[in-house]
Structures are given as C-alpha cells and as structure tokens.
Amino acid sequence: MGWLSRHSLAISSIVFLAASVLLAVVLGYAGLVAVSGLAAGTALASVLTELAVPYLPIVALLLVLVVVSGVVATWSALRRLSIPKSERFGTAAERIEQRYPVVDGFGISEFVSPPEPTTEEALADLKRRYVDGELDEAAFEHKLDRLVATESVDDVRAERERRAVLDESSNGSSR
C-alpha cells in the first residue's frame, strides 16, 4: 500500500475543507458585488455578466474539487470501516457483481467475504467438530482425506468454487 493510498482520507478531507471554504468565500464575494451593483441601480444582467467572466472558472474549479475530494474522502472512510464478514454477504455481493459489471470494479465481495481458512485452520476445525460429536468417525476420516489431499489453500478455494458452481448449476436446472 503506497503512501498516497494510506493518507488518502486525510488528504481528501483537507482538500474538501479548503475547497469548500474557498468556494464559500468566492460565492460570498460575488454575492456582495451583485447586491452592491443592484443597490447602485445597475441592471442584474450586466452585474451577472461582469461577475461571470472572472469568477465562473474559479467557481467551476472549486466545485469540481469539492465534489471529487468529497467522493474520495467518503470512499476512503468507507474502506476503513469495520464491515461484518460472512459467507452470506460474500455470496450476495458476488451475485450483484456478476449481475451488474459496473459494481464489479469496486471489489465489494472481497470486503464482505471472510478470509479463506488455511489448511491448519481447516484441520483444527475438523478436529473440533469430531471431538464435539458433530461428525462420526467415517465422516471425519472422509473429510480428513479430502483435506490432506488438497495441498494448499488455493486447492481448497478451487474446490469450494467448483462446489459453488455445481450447486448453482443444479439450482438453476431445478427452477
């Protein structure tokens, strides 16, 4: 993670506040000039025309800075939130990403899916389930053989994805 991405929230917040204050000052000054011009009896159209030439590019630039820095600050803050992770959220996010490709670029499913267990964690969970009586000896040995046969976390992940695809295809054909 680079320096810029680590400090994006602080930088974008500072830019947002500075641009917002400058925008308020520029708009306030333009409003004062417009009101004083109207009080002096000048037509509103000529006052606005005289203000538009020097101030419109400045207002447009500040408005773009406010919007962009606000979006970046919001996105940076949301990325730092403690988001609950569960298989249900991960599956739902993956389905949304498949259905709407625009959302896929944000990688939401990676944020809400729990991390894949390591082989050691899977083995410890299997042992715990056997000791607690959730699995009988035959089921324990079968699952242990499958776990030992997979040599890495990538193999476990590939097996889960294969099962998910098979489950989806069997659910889709039964509808």
One domain for residues 72 and 96: no
One domain for residues 160 and 119: yes
55 Cβ contact partners less than 8 Å away, ≥ 6 residues apart = 26, 30
Residue 161 sits in which domain range?
87-174
For the chain, give the mean pLDDT: 81
Is the pLDDT score of 36 beyond 50? Answer: yes
Q: Alpha-carbon distance 35 to 131, whole Å?
A: 82
Is the pLDDT score of 173 beyond 70? Answer: no
**Model pTM score:** 0.49
Region 21-34: mean pLDDT is 90
Number of domains in the chain: 2
List, for residues 80-130, the tens digit of each pLDDT value. Answer: 776 677 778 788 888 888 888 887 777 777 777 777 777 778 888 888 888
At position 129, the amino acid (one-letter code) is: R
Model pLDDT, residue 11: 92
One domain for residues 104 and 124: yes
Model pLDDT, residue 93: 83
One domain for residues 70 and 44: yes
